Structure 1
Amino acid sequence: MRIFVAGATGAIGRRLLPLLIEAGHDVIGATRTPDGAQHLRALGAHAHRLDALDAEAVTAALAEHTPDVVMHQLTSLAAGNPADNARIRIEGTRNLVDAAKRAGVDRIIAQSISWAYEPGTTPAREQDPLDIHAGAPRATTIGGIRALEDAAAELPHHVVLRYGTLYGPGTWFAPGGLMADKLTAGALPANDGISSFVHVDDAARAALAALDWANGPVNIVDDEPAPARAWAPVLADALRAPAPEPTEGGAPWERGADATLARSRGWHPAHPTWRTGFHAQN
């Protein structure tokens, strides 16, 4: 297949491109920077300089490359600002979907998140509703996710990958990343809020596998949803940072997610739990 990867130099994109090329696909990677373009060419992909927020440029890019599939891995996380990420999900996805329609592209695989579900007492499954009644500031994230998933569903063939919290190279949880700084500063609460994780390599493998999956959302998470009081000390040990003291509390939506559907489609993570995965980041 001819695959256009938006966000090709992000944490997942960098791990995904070699998998796509190894599988025999013709890959066009989109990036904003010259260094990113050089990296993509070194991997064996075609590189296209692109600002996903420029609708005309996105339209021209898909018209030029006429891919079979758009792989949407766009994020805006460098500044840690939810509004920036929501904007790329809303405007960037809108631009990609509109451009795909104009270019006759009918397939998209898009990156979403698995912690956007409404509050509950068990790990969330794909049929559970999103947290559409969330208040600020969470409403910003949920609004971005709703816009992304609704836009992707306008194409006849669409898979939405609801990733767990990413860890591994290029993420906030990697050595020297944001979470290491938070642990050092004593700013990471080890409370009762439950998270589901996924290593970036497993996330990339899911995106490759999704080329053959049926429409709709799919949770991509490991096998062990856990409260922060369980995983934060393990992360601290892996990052050689001070372990936080356990505390009580946590938001009702912090419930983790269930990946039974992904398992039924043949995806099995190489890192089935953060307990060992955190230590495999180096």
Structure 2
Amino acid sequence: MRVFVAGGAGVLGRRLVPQLVERGHQVTATTTSTAKLGLLKQLGAEAVVMDGLDARSVGEAVAHARPDVIVHQMTAISGKPDIKHFDRWFAVTNRLRTEGTDHLLAAAQAIGVAHFVAQSYGAWNGIREGGWVKSEEDPLDPTSTGKGAEAIRHLEDVVVQAGGAVLRYGAFYGPGATDDQVELVRKRQYPVVGNGGGYSSWVHLDDAASATVLAVEQQAKGVFNIVDDEPAPAREWLPHLAACAGAKRPMRVPAWLARPVAGQVAVMMMTEGRGFSNAKAKRELGWRLRYPSWRQGFKEGLA
């Protein structure tokens, strides 16, 4: 198929494009930077500069590529994590999930693109009631990430209405995905907050990419949790990450002390977060993970 990957130079796009090319697809991948055009060409794609927030730029890029499927991987998350100021940190990403999604869907409709696959998020932001592990039938927490939650809800609603697939990726790890977190862990600036009982779900970039390829090839529809087999509380995964990184064991900080320093989102994630089940993706897409658990993946990746 002709596959248009919007955001192909991003941390996941750089793992996705080669997998699509290897399976025989013709890939057009976009970046906002001319400096990254060479990288995308090396990965086997036709490289295009596109501004996802400019409707004309998006329309022209999609019309030129004439794809069979569009894969929306556009984000703007880089630099040191700033969970305390989540809305500010995710401001551009929120626009890409709202305006950018709308521009891509309009371009798809204009030339009759058959299918649409979009990146969503499902790491710790399941509804904070009931059990600790959520399926696709459970709603996301509308208060988890401020304006980010609203942007995700918009993306999921319009993509599902258009007959596309929404992939709720867990927290990414793998080449280039957790460097900033690992640095904070090594500096002992990433503590376990409260009892560390909040759950998170992780996924290796290569596994996230392979699930995306399946969603593309099978023209999947609806919502899928793309996470590994082991959602786990912070008090388990964070000390393991530290050990794999050769760092000292993380400190423990009470929630009342962490709240003014790290912000409410960090406290919520560490103490009340809900993870996700991958049963639907494994059952309906036939997805098989190379890294079924973050325990194995952290160890191999940081060895």
Q: TM-score, normalised by structure 2?
A: 0.86
1:47-66 equivalences in 2 (<5 Å): 47-66=47-66
Distance in 2 (alpha carbons) for counterparts of 1:226 and 1:186: 21
Higher helix share: 2
Distance in 1 (alpha carbons) for counterparts of 2:162 and 2:111: 12
Q: Give, in angstroms, the shift of residue 178 of structure 1.
A: 1.2
- Does 2:280 correspond to 1:280? no
Partner of 2:120: helix, strand, or coil? strand
Q: Give, in angstroms, the shift of residue 90 of structure 1.
A: 1.2
Aligned to 2:138: 128
Alignment counterpart, residue 203 of structure 1, candidates 175, 185, 208: 208
1:213-228 equivalences in 2 (<5 Å): 213-228=219-234
Q: Give, in angstroms, the shift of residue 38 of structure 1.
A: 0.6
Partner of 1:11: helix, strand, or coil? coil
Aligned to 2:107: 99
Aligned to 1:90: 98
- Does 2:252 correspond to 1:239? no
Two-structure CA RMSD over aligned residues (Å): 1.7
Aligned to 2:72: 72
Q: Give, in angstroms, the shift of residue 20 of structure 1.
A: 0.5
Q: Which runs of 5+ in 2 are unaligned?
A: 82-88, 256-266
Q: Deviation string for 1:16-66 (max 9, x for gaps)?
A: 111101111110010111231111111221111111111110011111111
Contact 1:3 1:71 in 2 (8 A): yes
Amino acid at match of 2:46: H
Q: Give, in angstroms, the shift of residue 242 of structure 1.
A: 2.3
Q: How many residues align?
A: 274
Distance in 2 (alpha carbons) for counterparts of 1:253 and 1:54: 38
Distance in 2 (alpha carbons) for counterparts of 1:14 and 1:97: 23
Q: Which runs of 5+ in 1 are unaligned?
A: none
Distance in 2 (alpha carbons) for counterparts of 1:111 and 1:78: 17
Partner of 1:153: helix, strand, or coil? helix
Alignment counterpart, residue 109 of structure 1, candidates 117, 120, 130: 117
Q: Give, in angstroms, the shift of residue 213 of structure 1.
A: 4.8
Aligned to 2:183: 181
Partner of 2:19: helix, strand, or coil? helix
Partner of 1:166: helix, strand, or coil? strand
Q: Give, in angstroms, the shift of residue 209 of structure 1.
A: 0.7
Displacement over 6 Å in runs of 4+? none
- Does 2:150 correspond to 1:143? yes
Distance in 1 (alpha carbons) for counterparts of 2:69 and 2:139: 27
Contact 2:127 2:274 in 1 (8 A): no
Amino acid at match of 2:33: T
Q: Give, in angstroms, the shift of residue 170 of structure 1.
A: 1.7
Q: Deviation string for 1:116-151 (max 9, x for gaps)?
A: 33113230100111222x17xx22111110111122
- Do the aligned partners of residues 125 and 196 (structure 1) sit closer, same or farther apart at CA in structure 2, a change above 3 Å counting? same
Contact 1:3 1:70 in 2 (8 A): yes
Contact 2:75 2:96 in 1 (8 A): yes
Contact 1:192 1:247 in 2 (8 A): no
